[in-house]
Amino acid sequence: MSKKRITKSQQNQAEKFIKKNVKNPGVALVLVVLVAAGAWLVNNQDLFIKNNSVPASFAETQENIRCIDGDTFAYGETTVRMLAIDTPETVKPNTPVQPYGKEASNRTCSLLKNAQSISFKQDVGNENDKYGRQLAWVYVDDELLQEILVSEGLAIIKYVNKKTVDTDLLKLLETAEAKAKTEKINIWSE
């Protein structure tokens, strides 16, 4: 879906219309300023959506969720790779199933399939990976799925883009990972 932009010509036309048709100079000035500000906001909206949640409810389509492994799933034609974590491999070609890989896959699948709501949050500038997968922070019933997996010792923090990462969410993961390590949970038990 392409973004609609307001061209300088369109902005100038609106300003000329206001100046010509609005008799009160004070009102005309206010309207011209509003048109200019509105054009700027429309053309620069990406500046304001960084790390804002983009809800995507799947209540009626959860049967279309296809679990791939512990950090990747698909719904419909879209494949989602969870940001900032890595789970042990279960489906990577020429790679044996790694310890806790099945547990991570099963846990992710269970949480996704049993959730009442699923929503995403994306880091602007890091929306897709080189394989075309959508990169996202994933929430199941308003809980960060990555944090659940890391706190249960089923995922580690990995593949963090320092330029785009939501630092608040990364701190949550770092706290959860430190606790899982200290308690020697699953991946950290060996």
Q: Return the DSSP state at 186.
A: G
Our answer to whether residue 89 is catalytic in this structure is: yes
The SS3 assignment for 157 reads strand
Token couple for 140: 């199941």
Active-site hit among 5, 66, 107, 133: 133
Catalytic position from the list 81, 103, 107, 177: 81
**Spatial CB neighbours of 73, under 8 Å, sequence gap ≥ 6:** 65, 66, 67, 79, 80, 108, 109, 112
For the stretch 3-10, contacts whose Cβ atoms lie closer than 8 Å and that sit 24 or more positions apart, written own/partner, are 3/45, 4/42, 5/42, 5/43, 6/38, 6/39, 6/42, 6/43, 10/39
Catalytic residue among 60, 66, 77, 89: 89
Annotated active-site residue 190? The verdict is no
Catalytic residues: 81, 89, 133
